[in-house]
Each structure stands twice: as structure tokens, then as C-alpha cells.
Homo-oligomer: A and B are copies of this chain.
Amino acid sequence: MQTLYDYLDSGNGYKIRLLLALLEHPYRWVELDIMRGGTRTAAFLAKNPNGRIPALELDDGTCLAESDAILWYLAEGSALLPDSRLARAQVLQWMFFEQYSHEPYVATPRFILKHLPPDSPRRAELAQRLTQGRAALGVMDTHLNGRRYFVADGYTIADIALYAYTHVASEAQLDLAPFANVRAWLARVAAQPRHIPISYRPPPS
């Protein structure tokens, strides 16, 4: 059985838990305490030398890292990853947008505000990061104008990738009120059958 190394409050980890729930795919779940060096042990660095969760260990012991690469691997062959060459590239376009133009400006401020002490020097980064976070939400809102989902009018792993931190943007002090298309899309994603919240903790196995 595949093992997911994860941290409950991680949006990147939640992407994988959400997809696995949608696919009704059984797995073993191991939580690592990222705040206390759980991803910096020799044992975990041997699995992922970049020292980050999520990581998915396959049956043969191969460990796959990077949340959006894991989504791709698991969704292959399902309706959550379209067939056409262009739609597949568009799924990747939005997943790379997520990691480069969205995650550092939505997930990182949320992490600073939620997991670091109130006197952390990293609070100095917030203003600049949140400006770029609002820009990313603006790009999403523009794209979603007249569209139900990010790619090919169907729910795909591009939506899962972008949903993970967008739906908790308020925890990063980002106000979604100006982004009506984004809010409607968030509701559409959350209404999918078998949807789970970010706080979903898989049962022990």
C-alpha cells in the first residue's frame, strides 16, 4: 500500500488527501511534525532529499515528491486529468502558476501568520507577499470569468491544486470579497461528491 508523508495543516498535503478521497484510493498516512524537524531527519531525507512533505512512497519503495507531480501521478487515467494534449498542458500551466505565482504569496503568509510566533521577523515579508497574493487571485478571477473550472470546463487536478490554499486565503489575511468568480468556483469545488476538508485526518492503518 502507498504511504503518504504529510502534515495535517499543509495545503500541499491536503491536495493529495483530497484527490485520494475523490478516487476512493486506500493509503497509509504518516504525519511528520514539520515544526519540529520531522522532515529533516536522515530517514526522511533519504526518501526526499529536498526535505519537504508531501511525499508519496510507492509499493516498490520509490518516493515521489512535489505535490502537483504526485497529483499528476495519481490522477492519470481518471476523469480528473483530461486526455487531450492541449488540456493536459493547460492543467500543468495552472499547476505551475500555483507553485510559482500563488503558493509563495498565499500559503507562505498563512504559514507565517498561523504557525510562527507573533514577533517573528518573517512578518516583515507579509506586505509584499500579500500584494502578490492579491495579484494571483486577480489572475484567477479574470480567467474564471465565464468558466466553471480552470481547464476544459471540467473539474481537474488543476482545480485541486489551486483550491488547497485559496479556500483558506482568509487565514493569510487575504480578502476574497473582491473576487466573485473565485468564490463561486470555490463553492463548486467544495460541492463535489466525496469532498473532504483540509482538517480531514485519515484513519490509522
Contact = CB atoms under 8 A, between A and B. Distances in A.
A171 interface: no
B50 A97 contact: yes
Q: Give how many copies assemble into the complex.
A: 2
A175 to B, nearest CB: 20
A89 to B, nearest CB: 4
A72 B89 CA distance: 7
A99 B101 CA distance: 10
Given A49-B139, A100-B99, A101-B50, A93 B64 contact: yes
Contacts of A90: 64, 69
Interface residues of A, number: 32
A112 to B, nearest CB: 14
A97 B66 contact: yes
A86 interface: yes
Interface in A86-108: 86, 88-90, 92-93, 95-97, 99-101, 103-104
A66 B90 CA distance: 9
Contacts of A96: 66-69, 95-96, 99
A49 B97 CA distance: 11
A73 interface: yes
Contacts of A97: 50, 65-66
Nearest to A91: B69
22 contacts: A49-B139, A49-B143, A50-B139, A62-B86, A66-B96, A67-B96, A68-B92, A69-B90, A69-B92, A69-B95, A69-B96, A70-B89, A72-B89, A72-B92, A73-B88, A73-B89, A92-B92, A95-B96, A96-B96, A96-B99, A99-B100, A104-B104
Interface of A: 49-50, 58, 62, 64-70, 72-73, 76, 85-86, 88-90, 92-93, 95-97, 99-101, 103-104, 139, 142-143
